[in-house]
Amino acid sequence: MYTVRRRTDGAVLGSTSLGNFDLQNGCVEMGFTWLDRAAWGQGYNEDMKLCLLKYCFEDLGLVRVEWQVDAQNERSRRALQRLQFTYEGTLRSRHERPDGTRRDSQVFSLLAFEWPEAQAHLQRLVAERSAPQTEFS
């Protein structure tokens, strides 16, 4: 788990994680992300993804990063689509929610060969929103 902090004052803005590592096949799942509501719409989510994807593809040499999103979580689905990650399909009744109901999970991915274009796109989004760079700890 990575804590996301604003560099200017060190305030904790949220966290994100990598999980379900499959190093044999060069894959990881990114997610389990939360961001303080006051930081929404300011480029922090894009900057968070930019930093962590750079780590995944350039430092770890992974070939695939994926996300699973509750099919009812419209905000997260729209965010991944806006970031140009590829929708791959829906896993029916994939997880149990805390209330005991079952959820469908939509799967999105980004592949290593797509990273240069995605990186440029994320950099543009961050610049447009003028978010201070985040840091992980």
Q: At CA 59, angle to CA 57 and CA 63, rounded to 5? A: 30
Looking at 3.40.640.10, 3.30.1330.10, 3.40.630.30, 3.40.50.300, the CATH number of the domain 2-136 comes to 3.40.630.30
Is 35 buried (19+), middle (13-18) or exposed (0-12) by CB count in 10 A? middle
Give the pLDDT mean for 42-47: 85
Give the pLDDT mean for 115-134: 82
Percentage of the chain modeled with pLDDT above 90: 66
pLDDT band at 47 (very low <50, low <70, confident <90, very high): confident
Contact 104, 91 (CB under 8 A): yes
Q: Is the pLDDT of residue 29 over 80?
A: yes
